[in-house]
Amino acid sequence: MKPFSDNLLYIFIFLAGFVFCLISFNLVQIQIDYQVSISDILSLIVTSIVGIYLGKQIQERHLANRFEKEYLMGEIVKLTQYMDTKHCFKNFNHVNFDEIKAAFKEINIMLTNLEMTVQDSNYSNTISVREVRQKFSTLRRQVLNISPINDYIVPQQSQVILINKEYKEFRRQLFRLITAIN
Amino acid sequence: MKIKIATEFSSTPGARYREDGPNSGEEFFERILDSAYKRAIEKGELLVVDLDGTEGYATSFLDEAFGRLSSKYGAESVLKNMTIISNDEPDWVEEIISYIKEPR
């Protein structure tokens, strides 16, 4: 059930409660001799049980949504933190070939997991990892297409500018995902 | 017929050319891929190239190896007679197909 229909349900429960209270209050005020029958009590109990059940279901759904949201955001943060810990992403002027190759592999695996998690979540229609993936592929191609010299990639200054730009774009796309989830 | 790069070539594939360092794409093409492709064609089998199990690939390695294969035998023939397995990094499959379709 979507949040919009949840809201409608809340309004309905509130209105039902309101009408019930109003009637009860009026019965007391005008002192109608009201005989409470077994069927009235039963219907009251059933209504209460249904109300409690619905409330519990809504609460559980909200909790699940919150958990999903926090989990997805946590995965993205984990990815950015991983990049922060890697020396190869700090300075693109002089990059160890094996280190960045392995780091790109790790990020790629994280992105694949993120894509699968998003697909299985409630966010599958609202957010997409496609643009992040595109930026990642461009960045990886720009860095790993340069031939290393003595195990180090030493790009020309113009290439460093492009790589830095692409890296910032990649990170920006990741943060856009967090904003979209939030 | 199947080639697993991690076991039959190296678990740490290098860059494009031999002069870039060990385990280059050029070396992989000349030592393994080219001959395996020829044998597969002769036997009338599909060549399966398994990318999994290595410590990652450089785009230059893949471009050199598969791009050269495509230049030598033609994109259509390579796409028909070879398939790629990449469960670790599934996006490599699409990337390699682009190198085959548009070799350098």
Q: Is A174 helix (H, G, I), strand (E, B) or coil?
A: helix
d(CA A138, nearest CA chain B) in Å: 10
Q: Give the pLDDT score at A31.
A: 61
CB contact (8 A) between residue A145 and residue B57: no
Please name which of B88, B71, B94, B77 lies closest in space to residue B4, comparing C-alpha atoms: B88
Which strand ranges, in their side-by-side order, compose the sheet holding B82-85? B2-4, B47-50, B82-85
Complex-level ipTM beyond the 0.95 threshold: no
pLDDT in tens, A93-125: 999 999 999 999 999 999 999 999 999 988 888
Other Cβ atoms within 10 Å of A36 Cβ, number: 8
pLDDT in tens, B39-72: 999 999 999 999 999 999 999 999 999 999 999 9
Give the C-alpha separation, B36 to B28, whole Å.
Answer: 11
CB contact (8 A) between residue A98 and residue B55: yes
Chain centroid to Cα B93, Å, comes to 10
Please name the helix (run of DSSP H) or strand (run of DSSP E) that holds residue B46, with its range, or none.
none
A151 touches chain B (CB under 8 A): yes
Strand duo B82-85 + B47-50: pairing: parallel
Residue entry with tokens 């190239």: B49
Q: Which pair of tokens denotes residue B103? A: 């070799």
